[in-house]
Structure 1
């Protein structure tokens, strides 16, 4: 009898185990199916129907998409937006007067060797399944990794969470940036409606899977704990792009990147008007000690529409950040930054990330070895470009990355050099 009872108990246990395993498998399969559905929905939203496809030699696929069907118009404030095909004013032209002869301006992308997009379309780098799988979720793809939480900011004053730099004898607080090291030249004190510079092109190494490194220009407006910004330059970002190539990028936010904004055209916002250049595509050639290459980047507010236009090398106008995205930046910016940043959860910690900034060399290496931004300019309501009246230099961790505004002798204006290797003997 005991034997029969034991066998019955064993049979029931096996039955329950089989049932539990079946329920678990069903649950896992359902979750996997839901994740696949989310990815498929996101891919359909990101990759608009193309008029033409271009296979780039570097592995990218460029889709030529009708300008009026680009991702920008998925943004709720742009549902009835009418595209502004060109600025209402003549944007200031690049001034070659102070450029070094050994520095060659470029705006070359690998995909351009394989074809071009028809007039009325814009080139968009196709997003693939593996791109979304690298993100924390399909909806987070293309967004800045949250640099701080709202709770932290809400319980802190700007002085407590900010960084300090002295400009023209005045202490200036910079916005808090957790998980980011910066080496920047900055200016404050006026209302700015434009900024530009020539950014030296390098390919710094990236250490950790979630790290990225940039060389860029950005204009900021609004309170420091919830600033708005428009940004552009070059970036190495394996998590976003799937490789370690140097790529053209844009970014915007209206809340210090806590929940808004994104890179390139990976979510709605930036309106592209040019068929010649693709955001997120690789740039070249890369600088070396033997030859220096650079891209010109300028961001300018159209005073009649309040849209922020992006101008690149050879006065190519790429498109704009629409005024409807912003509150403070509709009028002007109150701070301009030029320089580099490294994002990593291992900055300001030990061991520090080995992700490099700029060329990977410190600013002291100067021309030919260190990354630079030259021909630094701001624009105010006079609508003319000028070197800023007051500037300051800020370095988060000077032994990891640094910057300096260097002038050769007493002739000419300064050039901002910046960069560094990350973790080393002095930056453990």
Structure 2
């Protein structure tokens, strides 16, 4: 099929590349000329494992192309994916100006039947809004479909090529059949393509992310309680996870969730409820608790240093909101760094992928180390914010020699408590003694 993807952010670029991988002819559209030229030259503008290989292969095969011209995209694609930003507005709602703005442009330019697919995460009722906006400007037949993405950063390529399920929200048999044909190569193992109405599809995405955020938050609450009563959250987690009704995933406690999805989607669903005079009380708690959890280590750090951090050098391992991505949106590291700067602390950081993004945001207020051990030189403490695999088995002897202090504050529970204590280090983690 001929496919157009409007928007080459994280979702759009993964979608376009993975659709090209199964033989579709894909044209990606973006208004950023510099970014389009970069991609035409074979440069992937985001970090996502395995994306670069697919990107290069499909460009070389002529199946993946790029343009700044929406007219060209409408002429090319029989299915038009809208993978546009829906940033959080000041009141917590999802800002639809980019989605509806492109919908208006499509309405003005439409000359033949197209399927318009909302790929972005959008509030319930957005498909109808897109349909209404397009209809104002054209009498040409078209359909609007909701097809939310379920891509985990760091695993997005695998998630797209081998999805657990595909959700298609459509009231058009014609559009539904074409969407099923498009996705058929991805579900050969039998995973379902689930057809539903557009509003249910839109809510499925929000409900999924809000539930996972709630599950993480609940475990963080349990971890905090473990510290009060002397229980071990790792043992509790294992005991809970063996129950098939609960499952093992998303039970790892830490310093809160971040990223481009969970924080924004939880707030957007919460605000959508408020707009209809419905109070999501559980989401009230999730939002509040997660904000507090991001800096849950700070009182422990202050206690260790007797409330005096001025001039102290602190090393930080991990800046991205999760491993295998360079995404720092809503990352707990940002909250911790700001709090430490408020106490006039000297900070040295290392992350395998996110350093450049942090530097753009924070500038020269902190030091950026060349590697994980360089960050430790003369540091009085180490804080771990992201569970990158390279941090899992450090050389503790080397660590002790480099550091001036002897304490690790682990926001991701990477190490066995006794193993670190046996190395002669102080070790403070989440939900464990």
User: What TM-score does the superposition give when structure 2 sets the normalisation length?
Assistant: 0.22
Question: Which one has the bigger helix percentage?
Answer: 2
Question: Which one has the bigger strand percentage?
Answer: 1
User: What TM-score does the superposition give when structure 1 sets the normalisation length?
Assistant: 0.22
The structure whose RCO (Cα within 8 Å, separation 6+) is larger is 1
